[in-house]
Amino acid sequence: MKQLEEYIRSIPDFPEEGIIFRDVTSVLQDANGLHMAIDQMQEKIADLDFDVIVGPESRGFIFGVPIAYNLNKPFVPVRKKGKLPCETIEKEYALEYGNAVIEMHKDSIQPGQKVLIVDDLIATGGTIEAITQMVESLGGQVSGIVFLMELSGLEGRKRLEGYRVESVIVYEGK
């Protein structure tokens, strides 16, 4: 049986020279790879107490929804600005080139709820840092954060100090 790392395609010099792009689509395209990814992410948080799962579009949806389904938990989507139909809260955060704004429904997290954040990849940590701030502004408590992959050279964990952060696969470098 293949190891999960074998399902991830590494593409050198994309999007620029010197970068190795870790392509998650090769995991999604293989039933065994997808199954293994979901199972291993769930194993990382098996001892965690939480009420709701939050995930950013789009790959946070891909991994967060099956975990929510398996554990009989609700799922809260975090979307780009302007994509949610009800009253929202928003957070602006820095990207490598410019800024982005994400939103979640104002009624999606109740005060005191324990939240697990799920995404495919942690790089610089900016998106997830913004999500933790939104969750906490609604009165939620971040119980943990789980990723399929981590690019440790970009030091995203530093932005998430004080939170339990789990990654199934850790790549050195960027």
Told to judge if 59 belongs to the known catalytic residues of this protein, a careful annotator would answer: yes
Annotated catalytic residue within 22, 59, 129, 150 = 59
Looking up tokens 């960027």, which residue turns up?
174
Q: For residue 49, how many other CB atoms are within 10 A of its CB?
A: 9
Four-point Cα dihedral 9, 97, 121, 35, nearest 10: -60
Annotated catalytic residue within 16, 87, 96, 161 = 96
Which of 104, 100, 152, 98 has its CA nearest to residue 132?
Answer: 104
Told to judge if 159 belongs to the known catalytic residues of this protein, a careful annotator would answer: no
Which amino acid, residue 115? V
Catalytic residues: 59, 96
